[in-house]
Structure 1
Amino acid sequence: MVQVCDTLTTDFEKINIDPFWNVGNEVEHKNHRIHAYPAKFPAFITQKAIQYAISENIKINCIGDFFCGCGTVAFESKRLGFDFWGCDINPTAVLIAKAKSNTYSISYVKKYFSNIMDLYDARYNTHIMPSHINDRITYWFYPKEIFELSLLKQCIYDVVPARSKYRHYFLCAFSNILKPTSKWLTKSIKPQIDPNKKPANVRQAFIKQCIIMEKAIADEPCNSNANIEIKLKNALTLRRKEFVDLIITSPPYVTSYEYADLHQLTTLWLDYADDYRDLRKNSIGSNHNIFTNDCYTLLNCVGQEIVRDLRNVDKSKARAVAKYYFDMQRITNVCKSALTINGMLVMVIGNTEYKGVYIDNVKHLVKSMQNSGFSKIYVAKRKITRKILTPYRDKFGRFSSNDNQRKVYSEEFIVIGR
């Protein structure tokens, strides 16, 4: 780990790998695997960040994550006995995070599950479909699966009370069987139909998913009384001041996944939006974000240089990166304001490359944090484990060895601000 004094002259790629941030000491809790999620935050980094903060005499009462995603930091904070406040702009992420962070009684889970399945079987021959099915659902699902999923969802709603934390639990289970029961190409990080795919049986997939989640509850039960609060909120609009002692987060990367697209099946089935594309709006890292001239003119000097280089090869991508950097500068202001005196920000981020232009996200982030008033900034580098050896992705998101494609780096950085 190095302390950064001069951002412009520091070559962050030459920082040595720091073994402290490389490997966790504990087996990841099964609760972190109850729902698929792209680029999931490694649980051990939360543990390491808390350990590091305590070693630096940070008095931790509440931990924050303003891009809480599927709730990794939330669950680890609770498991370790710390209060947590987090938010995400993606309703599917918030659903998973809440489901993951609640404490459940196995006896209640079994009772609700049994009642849901009994009702499902009793109504199978009499279930009446809703009068309108979203066209996008009919695009992704065959009629049999639409009928069965519609029935299953209605049974969950009828059995589990609306304000119950157990509804989050069973809707999370429902969400995670949508891709297997659809035409969605298995393990694809882009929305693609597989015309040869045989969808999984809805009833069997739900039973299997609920067994997985029940085993997660039994895996080292979490008895912490920590207060966990997770909001559906755009972090850019957060105005709360000095309420968290430690922020552990990983923002969406520039040229990243379109989370609204990847989670569109849950969005459509759970009525989060009639058109999933509406959820792209204001999502940091989205190529469909709203662009204004301020995104150019208000960039710091690092951002301006990178965007200028990108404009020479792809003006559309330059606009997207400029908007991303503009929003990241606003986020560092939000984080600085939200931290208590002597608080700490731990942010995980990586660099990338696009058509030969090196996109130094770390350097831009460090400069943004300096401009936001962080007085001491440290940077460490870690190796991303289980990284596929082909270091490029094509336009469909598939890994490739073609060096004309977008390069995906096998390291990422831990940036710490005080």
Structure 2
Amino acid sequence: MPAIDREQLDHRVEQIYDQVVAWRRYLHANPDLSYEEQPTAAYIMCELQKMDAGGKWLHISQPEGNCIVSDLKGGAGEGAIVALRADIDALPVEELTDVPFASKKRGVMHACGHDTHAAMLLGATKLLLEDAEKIKGTVRLLFQPAEEVPPGGAKMMIEKGCMEGVTMAFGQHILPLEEVPTGTVLVRKGAILRSSDTLHAEIIGRGGHASLPERSIDPIPIACLAVTALQQVVSRRMPPCKCPVLTISAINSSCDTYNVIPDKVTLKGTLRCTDSQVREDANKAIAEVLHGICGSYGATCSFKRFPGYDVTVNADSAYDVGMRVLAQVLPSKDQIVVLPDCMSASEDFSEFAKLVPSNYVGIGCYNAEKGCAAPNHNARFDVDEEAMKVGVKVHFGIIHELLMQ
């Protein structure tokens, strides 16, 4: 099959665009938290069944009640199995946008764009069904729960067999970053997303009266020293070219009054790395710094690391497929933004990428004129819906490149 006819694809995407928007807006108004996505999965199941009313092409299953796996087996014969993935969970955020399709659930919001991910994959499915006779092989559609909360839904889906036989996997994420406005796609060969670990430390002193600090071991100044000293782990203990991101995001004491020195202080934070060895070395150094400072001032410390997601790595072969597709579906090479360094975010798409050659891209959706400029996870996060056209084209293009040639 020849290269993609971009004008024809643009026209086809325009034809289904209103439906893609409708899917997105329904999901946005009806968000589900991680591990609670059963209603979202039921909606997606229903929409897939409507698209393939006779059940000729789609073989839909639910490994768990909150996820969907659908195989589109093409009519051109046996071939490779290529996975397209969209995550579907929302966040515990109270929405502060004024859009008419704002969340109906108090304290729950699609503040990371997973509603658009599901809608874009549904849109691509609609186009692929129109071309099902031309597909040689199988498109595996993965609607994945629980990306936001480790251990994550990807691992569960893999354990349920969703990656059996898959030869390549592709994912995308909507990004409202100024450097990737609507119409652009962010790419990177190799590591594109960092690993993530959650950190929890307790600095244990000896409480007492605020007027007699000498009779106590005050954990608060010790915690302050520890927080600043921990940044030395990043700047002086790790290679500059592989510098991790260490953030202490919460400091809490065991009391909440004015005249009591607390017994302990709790520190919480995250560590994000681009390299597995740096990840281990940094965690070891963090523990050493905490225990060393606490010991110097008569306190003790307990430190726990909760491993999160691994580094997401774009394999050369899958990245090259992605770049060939972008050259066909985007009007200009200027719409391809090559990321010079790994992003600081983390994703459990890494689980798929550890199994098969994979490629993960960012779909730009920044548009300040439309008010789509708030970052992911912000209560005012909104998406320029025009960006979904690009996501649909990228998904479709991957299958055209790999299974329709």
Q: TM-score, normalised by structure 2?
A: 0.29
Higher helix share: 1
Higher strand share: 2
Structure with greater Cα Rg: 2
